[in-house]
Structure formats: C-alpha cells, structure tokens
Amino acid sequence: MKHKKALILLLIVFLIGTMGCGTPKSESYSRTGFFFDTVISITIYHSDSQLAKNALFDCFELCKHYESLFSRTMENSDIWKINNAAGETVAVNRETYSLLQTALYYSELTDGQIDATIAPVAEAWNFSQNNEENASHIIPDHETLKELLKHVDYHNIILSEKD
C-alpha cells in the first residue's frame, strides 16, 4: 500500500511534467487596419497559423461590415444616411436598428447622460483631429454650446419596424 501511494504520486508528477511536451507552441499573429476613424490592431495567439490568419481575416471583415453600417463619416453607411436625411425616414439594416434600440435603452437608463446624438457638441471640441496644427482642442463658448445642444436629444430618434 505504501509503494502504491508513492507510485501514484510519481505517476501524477510525471504526467504533469510531460503535459507540455509535444504540444505545439502558440505564436502571435497580428494585423492592423483603420476602421471607425481609428487604428485597430488585433493579435491572436495560436499554434495553427492558418487558423489564426483566418480568424484575423474574419475579424477585419466584421470591422468592414460594421463600419459600412455604423460609421457616421463613411458615405452611404446607415448612420451617415440618417445624419444626412434632414429628419426624413431612413430604412436601415436590422443590425443598425438593433444598435439604435440599444443606444436608446442606455439613453433612457441614464436619463440622457448617454446620448447617441451628441456628435454636434463633440465636433465643436475637435477631438477627432490628431495632428500638431490641431493639437489644442477648442473650448466652445457658451452661446455656441447652447445652439449645438438644440440638436442633441435622443428623444428625436424614432424607431419603427416596417412589416
């Protein structure tokens, strides 16, 4: 019995010590792109290079897809169409509709502290500029903010499903 316990203990130590042997080592695979008005870098660690490369490709395809729907700066995206429709009804992809539903949910939940319509005010600060000429952000004066805030109100987003 004494030897049996020692043998089991040795077997466990041997198994733990050899678990990593023969297992392919994970390597990193990275890709960088520009989506959503920012640089995106994705790194995947995996032992199968083809699987990792396919996953990176799929990630960037999703970025392209969502940018084509949600970008406010990419002409003809759903959000761009909404922002340039002058209040007219715009038909959107179901994913855009779902995103807008979620945005409205959080706007209601926070009593407007989160508001998807904040772009006019955010643009006044010039946060998107990333060069030395525009390194200092503009602080809009009270009157400018007052005027811009007239265009910020999540209650103005009206969703309706068309059958």
Which tokens go with 150? Answer: 């007239």
Q: What is the pLDDT of residue 138?
A: 74
Higher pLDDT, 136 or 115: 115
| CB < 8 Å & 24+ apart, contacts of 75-83 | 83/119
Q: How confident is the model at residue 128 (pLDDT cuts 50, 70, 90)?
A: low
pLDDT reported for residue 5? 61
pLDDT band at 129 (very low <50, low <70, confident <90, very high): low
What domains sit in the chain, N to C, each tagged with a CATH number? 78-156 (1.10.3980.10)
Angle of helix 94-109 relative to helix 49-70, nearest 10 degrees? 70
This prediction has a pTM of 0.69
* Tens-digit pLDDT profile for residues 57-112: 999 999 999 999 999 889 999 999 998 998 899 999 999 999 999 999 999 999 99
Token duo for residue 60: 């960037």
Please answer whether residues 117 and 157 qualify as being in contact, where contact means their C-beta atoms are separated by less than 8 angstroms: yes
Whole-number Å distance between alpha carbons of 36 and 99: 15
Beta-ladder partners of 64: none
Residue range 35-51: mean pLDDT, rounded: 91
The whole-angstrom separation of Cα 139 and Cα 124 is 8
Which of the four pLDDT bands, split at 50, 70 and 90, describes residue 155? Answer: very high
Provide the pLDDT for residue 127: 65
- What the block records as the tokens of 38 is 């920012």
